[in-house]
Amino acid sequence: MTGPLDAEAVLRRRDEFTSHWKDDGQVAWLDGAGLVLVRGHGRLDGPKRVAVRTPDGGRRVLTARHAVAVCTGTRAALPGLPGLDEVRPWTSREATSSERVPPRLAVVGGGVVACEMATAWRALGSEVVQLVRGSRLLPRMEPFAASPWPRACARPGSICASAPRSPGPAATGR
C-alpha cells in the first residue's frame, strides 16, 4: 500500500472488529453454550470456591467441579515519572481504543507494545516521539528483531530518543 491511511476508516473498522467495545455477542454465545457469566471482583474462598462481589454490591459464591483457573489479565505498569499522573497518560488500553488520532504523541518505553503503538499511531498520522531507556528498542528480544526500528524511527513524524539507564543512588552520591 502506498500513500496515507484513511485514519477515520481505520478507527471505524477497528470499532467494528471490537463490536464497538461491547461484549453482548460474546455473552449471547456463553448463554447459548449453557455457560453463565458472573461479573464482579472475585476472591478465592476455599478449595474450588470463588466469592464474587457483584457490581450491585451483592455476593455470590461459585463452586468449581474440578478446579478454579485464576486468569486475571494484566494492567500496564506506569513508570514513576514526576507529573505523569497529572497528564492522564494512556496505557495500551487507551492507545488501542482512542476515538481520534492525536496530532502528537509521546510513547514512553521500548518494548513490544510501545513499538506497536508508536508504529500504529505514526501510520495514522500522529507525530510520535518514542522515549526509550537503555541502548535499543525491544531489549528483551533478539537483536535482529529490533533491527527494522531505527529505519522506522527515521521516517518523517518520528523521533526515537534513548538514554542510558540511571546509574542509581550509589553512583550519584545519594
Residue 104 phi, psi dihedral angles, 5° rounding: -135, 145
Average pLDDT over residues 1-16: 91
For residue 172, pLDDT beyond 60: no
- Return the top range by mean pLDDT from 71-75, 82-86, 147-151: 82-86
The sign of the torsion formed by the CA atoms of 91, 137, 122, 9 equals negative
Q: How high is the pLDDT of residue 132?
A: 87
User: DSSP H helical segments within the chain, as ranges?
Assistant: 7-17, 24-32, 92-97, 112-123, 143-146, 149-153, 169-172
Over its C-alpha atoms, the chain yields an Rg (Å, rounded) of 22
Instruction: Write the pLDDT tens digit of every residue in 129-163.
Output: 988 888 788 888 888 887 776 666 666 667 777 76
Cell numbers describing residue 6: 484513511
Average pLDDT over residues 23-31: 94
Q: Are the C-beta atoms of residues 137 and 109 closer than 8 Å to each other?
A: no
As a whole number of angstroms, the distance between CA 58 and CA 125 comes to 46
Instruction: Write the pLDDT tens digit of every residue in 91-138.
Output: 999 999 999 999 999 999 888 899 999 999 999 999 999 888 887 888
Strands 158-163, 49-53: pairing kind: unpaired
Residue 29 phi, psi dihedral angles, 5° rounding: -60, -45
As a whole number of angstroms, the distance between CA 7 and CA 63 comes to 47
